[in-house]
Amino acid sequence: MDMPPRRTLNRQHTIQDIESAFLEIYQRDGIDGVSIAGICQVCGIARSTFYLYFEDKFAVLQGVEDRLLSALWEICRNLPDIMDHSSATDTALRTITHIRENLDWYRVLLSNRGDPMFVYRWKKDIVKSLRRKLEQRNVNELDAVIQGVMFSSALIGLYTHITMECPDIPDQTLCRYMDDLLARSLKPISPR
């Protein structure tokens, strides 16, 4: 296996250092407390080095959010049959693994200091992925949208609670909650 060139490794390392410094300050002080000078001080780089990689502090945040949401989309974009719980559990386990691997970021992004746009974009992705499956089951468009919104809101609420309050909950238990949440959200809406 070929190793990436040294320059590429240095670039990746510098970006990781900047993101880690950003996270450290963001966790402590919120976005208003993050400054370019603070980031540079924490990771020991010059301002000019920061600007080689990022336009401003919001570009750091946007880059991390884009990466996290892209990884979630790759896991969930082609959901298996939503009523096949064994396949759904595999998708849920992969999602849980991703969140646990990036727990510090999810904790700050889902906290009261987090970015509401991150949650909004995540909900839209969940709704989009689930909506396709509901439409394949001939659920009308309005019901598919509403069920997707209900599921995405409840699911992100569950993830928020887990990341903030009980991060050590076993994966299989969390999957059981997620399966139950999905089943409740997808219950056919009875006409009035």
Q: Which domain holds residue 87?
A: 62-185
Is residue 108 domain-shared with residue 40, that is, in the same domain? no
**For residue 157, which phi and psi values (nearest 5 degrees)?**
-60, -40
Distance CA 28, CA 51 (A): 23
Which pLDDT belongs to residue 9? 60
The set of residues, in sequence order, having a beta carbon less than 8 Å from that of 110 and lying 6+ positions away, is 118, 119, 156, 159, 160, 163, 164
Which pLDDT belongs to residue 144? 83
Is residue 104 domain-shared with residue 170, that is, in the same domain? yes
How many domains in the chain?
2
| Chain segment 111-136, per-residue pLDDT in tens | 998 999 999 999 999 888 887 777 77
Which pLDDT belongs to residue 188? 65
Is residue 71 domain-shared with residue 165, that is, in the same domain? yes
Kindly report the CATH number assigned to the domain that includes residue 96: 1.10.357
Which pLDDT belongs to residue 98? 95
Residue 191: inside a domain: no
Is residue 112 domain-shared with residue 177, that is, in the same domain? yes
- pTM given for the model: 0.85
Q: Which two tokens stand for residue 112?
A: 């009261």
Is residue 71 domain-shared with residue 150, that is, in the same domain? yes
Is residue 7 domain-shared with residue 67, that is, in the same domain? no
Average pLDDT, the chain: 87
Mean pLDDT by 10 residues, the chain (192 residues): 66 94 96 96 95 97 97 80 60 90 95 93 89 79 85 91 90 86 71 59
Q: Which two tokens stand for residue 117?
A: 């746009």
